[in-house]
């Protein structure tokens, strides 16, 4: 019942049957044609013009919601991996409910979910390999030692795409959350998608639900695009972070809608002495057109694990609704390195506990071996064009005693307060910076520059993401 992967033409036929838009472009009247497939957001779906394709059903997959497809997925991808250097391949997941444990991706490869396809993550722990802790963390986050591998896992890859016409990946996280609350986890919970040590990664046009823990975790990777994801989890579910770029260079996160029990986007780069030693920053990160609902966490968090450094982050067109804070910097003595050159422009918020929050005393160490002299430097943090309504407290800005956070700039920020606001709207300690056109009036440590002094937002672009 296994069949030879079909050629190019059939891939396109399959996709046309799926109702995707094919745009044929005539180049100078010559016969050569460029084929572009657009997803429902109107983005070109890269990685769909693979030379070979196969359906999960060709490898014995059964989409009945009951049969395990772990072996079918791995057999399909193992087979398709032979085409990595011959035009690449695409694995198509047809309509149905596909129960599966973890499987590994390959290079020059696209996993494509039909809009009516749902991957159901197995709740059977034997379907999840246990792998080493991340070197930049030194241990698992839920338990010392190893961690369950992610549902969709890839390492040391080039050119890998996980996409679909808004097909669904359902983490069935409830049993994992229960085990977490009861302290019954032997290893750290799995994530839905983790890609390590890879270049040219795209994760797009999918709905992710009820992850056991984090949803999307690109780590030690470059040229990463995360686009058009809907990520949903109960707002009380533990550690269901949306997207966590971690020690990555050149990442673009755009057009995502996230409801979660933890930070919607959490930018990271390793934990205390392990992150300092691994020394891989997250840099050149763009986050735009993000909508977040996260009543107990941040729309965008920088940290708390930032020990490889975080720099060159640009966030734009950010909407926060019923969230604890907007952009939050979390760090602690022992983290070392820096969070610097952060630029945020255009935030619209409604019903927020706080708008600005920086904390130098976040705590939470992997063990007691962290270096008390590893003081993180927080510098050049810029916010402009902020409108918020129904806010309880404008800002809590708390640097590290003796090591203030510097170069903070806030301009053109209008913060409307709730009926019962905090008496003190700006609580600032150990920080330095400037402000312009901010209401309610900020603390004295943010020196008023007078009206119309906008904070910086660089207009140049990062080296283009190659995809
Ligand atoms: C995998 O690829 C080979 C071609 O190398 C093909 O003959 C075979 O049918 C495919 N499927 C399986 C299950 O091996
Ligand atoms: C997937 O990759 C991980 C890490 O390299 C490995 O431990 C695991 O055994 C692989 N799984 C399969 C099914 O090959
Ligand atoms: C993956 O890449 C990392 C970093 O280059 C390297 O240390 C590791 O050995 C590679 N792993 C595999 C399985 O090739
Ligand atoms: C994708 O599906 C989710 C969940 O059903 C829905 O909320 C979202 O609007 C869909 N996105 C698109 C682009 O159709
Ligand atoms: C202030 O911010 C608002 C909301 O983003 C924007 O519409 C307005 O143009 C900004 N004003 C200036 C002077 O930049
Ligand atoms: C305003 O915020 C409060 C919480 O501080 C909330 O209970 C209330 O529903 C919000 N009002 C509106 C109109 O969203
Ligand atoms: C202001 O912040 C300081 C330092 O974190 C804290 O000790 C103090 O209680 C806060 N004051 C108010 C009124 O929130």
- Which pLDDT tens digit goes with each residue over 360-370? 999 899 999 99
Ligand 1 neighbour 78 (Cβ under 6 A): no
Q: pLDDT class for 6, splitting at 50, 70, 90?
A: very low
What's the pLDDT band for 12 if we cut at 50, 70, 90?
A: very low
Q: What is the pLDDT of residue 26?
A: 26
Q: What pLDDT shows up at residue 317?
A: 98
Tell me if residue 13 falls in helix, strand or coil: helix
Which residues lie with the beta carbon below 6 Å from any ligand 2 atom? 74, 104, 129, 131, 149, 153, 155
Give the number of C-alpha atoms closer than 13 A to the C-alpha of residue 59, restricted to the C-beta side.
Answer: 23
Find the mean pLDDT for residues 13-35: 34
Nearest atom in ligand 2 to the alpha carbon of residue 103 is 13
Q: Which helix (H) or strand (E) holds 216?
A: strand 216-219
Cα 360 to ligand 2 centroid, rounded to whole Å: 38
Whole-number Å distance, alpha carbon 394 to ligand 6 midpoint, is: 15
In order, the DSSP letters of 88-109 are -EEEEE-SEEEEE--EE--SSE
| Residues catalogued as catalytic | 262
Among 149, 156, 279, residue to substitute to test ligand 3 (most atoms within 8 Å of Cβ): 156
Task: Report the nearest atom of ligand 3 relative to the CA of 156.
Answer: 1
Instruction: Find residue 354's DSSP bridge partners.
Output: 393
pLDDT of residue 23: 33
Distance (angstroms) between ligand 1 centre and the Cα of 3 equals: 7
Ligand 7 probe mutation, 427, 428, 443, 444, most atoms within 8 A of CB: 427
Structure tokens at 201: 């990664």
Contact residues for 277 (Cβ-Cβ < 8 A; gap 6+): none
Ligand 5: residue whose CA is nearest its atom 6: 385
Residue 377 exposure: Cα atoms within 13 Å on the Cβ side: 9
What is the atom index within ligand 5 of the atom nearest the CA of 346? Answer: 5
According to the model, what pLDDT value does residue 48 have?
A: 63
Q: Are the CB atoms for 252 and 224 separated by under 8 Å?
A: yes
Point out the ligand 6 atom lying closest to the alpha carbon of residue 392: 5
79 lines ligand 1 (CB under 6 A): yes
Query: Residue whose CA is closest, atom 1 of ligand 7?
Result: 427
> Domains of the chain by range and CATH?
33-251+258-262 (2.160.20.10), 264-458 (2.160.20.10)
**CB of 346 shorter than 6 A to ligand 5:** yes
Tokens of 89: 């391949």
Give yes or no for residue 199 CB within 6 A of ligand 3.
no
- Evaluate: CB of 351 within 6 angstroms of ligand 6: yes
Q: How far is the CA of 455 from the centre of ligand 5 (A)?
A: 12
Q: Decide if pLDDT at 130 tops 70.
A: yes
For residue 89, the ligand closest to its alpha carbon is 1
Decide if pLDDT at 465 tops 60. Answer: no
Report which bound ligand comes closest to the CA of 76. 1
Q: In sequence order, what E strands does 303-404 have?
A: 310-323, 325-330, 338-359, 377-398
pLDDT: which is higher, 465 or 65: 65
CB 91 within 8 Å of CB 111: yes
Gap between the Cα atoms of 18 and 34, Å rounded: 19
- Spacing, Cα 415 to ligand 5 middle (Å): 13
Which pLDDT value is given to residue 306? 98
Q: Dump pLDDT digits (tens) for 183-225.
A: 999 999 999 999 999 999 999 999 999 999 999 999 999 999 9
| Confidence (pTM) | 0.92
| Statement: residue 19 has pLDDT above 50 | no
Q: What is the pLDDT of residues 251-297, one digit of tens each?
A: 999 999 999 999 999 999 999 999 999 999 999 999 999 999 999 99
What integer pLDDT is reported at residue 461 of this predicted model?
A: 80
Give the integer Cα–Cα distance in Å for 343 and 458.
Answer: 8
Report whether pLDDT(438) > 70.
Answer: yes
Q: Minimum-distance ligand to the CA of 127?
A: 2
Residue minimizing CA distance to atom 8 of ligand 4: 230
Average pLDDT over residues 293-313: 98
Ligand nearest to the CA of 60: 1
Considering the chain, what is the average pLDDT of its residues? 91
pLDDT at 5 over 60: no
């Amino acid at each position: 019942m296994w069949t030879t992967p079909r050629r190019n033409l059939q891939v396109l036929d399959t996709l046309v049957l799926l109702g995707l838009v094919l745009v044929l472009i005539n180049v100078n009247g010559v016969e050569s044609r460029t084929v572009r497939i657009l997803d429902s957001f109107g983005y070109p779906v890269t990685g769909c013009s693979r030379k070979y394709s196969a359906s999960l059903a060709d490898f014995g997959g059964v989409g009945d919601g009951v049969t395990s497809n772990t072996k079918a997925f791995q057999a399909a991808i193992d087979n398709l991996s032979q085409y990595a250097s011959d035009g690449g391949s695409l694995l198509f997941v047809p309509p149905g409910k596909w129960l599966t444990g973890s499987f590994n991706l390959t290079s020059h490869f696209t996993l494509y979910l039909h809009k009516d396809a749902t991957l159901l993550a197995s709740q059977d722990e034997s379907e999840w390999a246990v792998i080493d802790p991340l070197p930049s963390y030194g241990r698992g986050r839920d338990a010392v030692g190893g961690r369950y591998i992610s549902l969709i896992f890839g390492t040391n890859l080039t050119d890998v795409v996980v996409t679909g016409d808004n097909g669904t990946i359902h983490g069935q996280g409830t049993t994992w959350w229960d085990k977490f609350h009861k302290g019954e986890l032997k290893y750290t919970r799995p994530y839905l998608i983790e890609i390590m040590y890879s270049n040219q990664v795209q994760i797009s046009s999918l709905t992710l639900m009820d992850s056991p823990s984090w949803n999307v975790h690109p780590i030690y990777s470059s040229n990463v695009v995360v686009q058009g994801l809907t990520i949903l989890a109960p707002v009380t579910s533990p550690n269901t972070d949306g997207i966590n770029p971690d020690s990555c260079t050149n990442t673009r996160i755009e057009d995502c809608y996230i409801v979660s029990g933890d930070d919607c986007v959490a930018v990271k780069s390793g934990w205390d002495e392990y992150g300092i030693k691994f020394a891989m920053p997250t840099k050149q990160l763009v986050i735009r057109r993000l909508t977040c609902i996260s009543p107990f966490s941040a729309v965008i968090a920088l940290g708390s694990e930032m020990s490889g450094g975080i720099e060159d982050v640009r966030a734009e067109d950010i909407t926060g609704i019923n969230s604890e804070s907007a952009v939050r910097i979390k760090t602690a003595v022992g983290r070392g390195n820096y969070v610097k050159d952060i630029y945020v422009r255009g935030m619209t918020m409604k019903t927020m506990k706080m708008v600005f929050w920086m904390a130098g005393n976040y705590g939470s160490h992997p063990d007691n071996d962290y270096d008390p002299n590893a003081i993180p430097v927080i510098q050049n943090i810029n916010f402009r064009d902020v409108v918020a309504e129904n806010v309880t407290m404008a800002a809590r800005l708390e640097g590290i005693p003796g090591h203030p956070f510097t170069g903070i700039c806030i301009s053109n920020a209008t913060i409307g307060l709730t009926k019962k606001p905090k008496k003190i709207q700006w609580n600032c300690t150990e920080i330095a910076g400037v402000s312009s056109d901010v209401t309610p009036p900020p603390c004295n440590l943010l020196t008023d520059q007078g009206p119309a002094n906008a904070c910086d937002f660089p207009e140049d672009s990062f080296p283009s993401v190659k995809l």
